[in-house]
Amino acid sequence: MTLADAQRLALATAAAVREAAQRALADERRSGTAADWTVIESAHIRALQDARQAEREKLAADEKLGASRARFVGARTRAEALRRAREARRSELRVAERLSEHKMMDEVATMLYVRR
C-alpha cells in the first residue's frame, strides 16, 4: 500500500469513527409502544457495535499508515545515501581528472624543458 493510499484510508476511517460515534450517542427514545422501544434499543445496540467496528478499522488503518511511512522513510533514506555516495564518487573523479591533467602538463613541461 502506498503512503498516499494509507493516508486516504486513515482519513476515511477517522471520519467513519466520528460518524459512528455520533450515531451511537444519539438518543432516539420517544414515547411509544414497547415494540417501538425494542426497535429503537436494537438500533442503538447496532450503532454501538458499528462504532466499535469503526474503531477497529481505524486502528488497522493507522497501523498500515505507520508501516507505509516507515517504508517511505527507509526508501528516502536509502535514496539520499545513494545520492551522497554518487556525489562523493563524482567529486573523487573530478579530483583524479585534475591530478591526471596536472601530471600530463608537468610531463609536457619537462619534455619541453629537456628539449631546449
Retrieve residue 17's grid coordinates: 469513527
d(CA 40, CA 31): 11
Nearest C-alpha neighbor of 1 from the set 54, 49, 59, 72 = 72
Q: Which residues contact 41 (CB under 8 A, 6 or more apart)?
A: none
Domain count, the chain: 1
**pLDDT tens readout for residues 71-112:** 999 999 999 999 999 999 999 999 999 999 999 999 888 988
Its domain, for residue 71, covers 3-115
* Confidence bin at 41 (pLDDT 50/70/90): confident
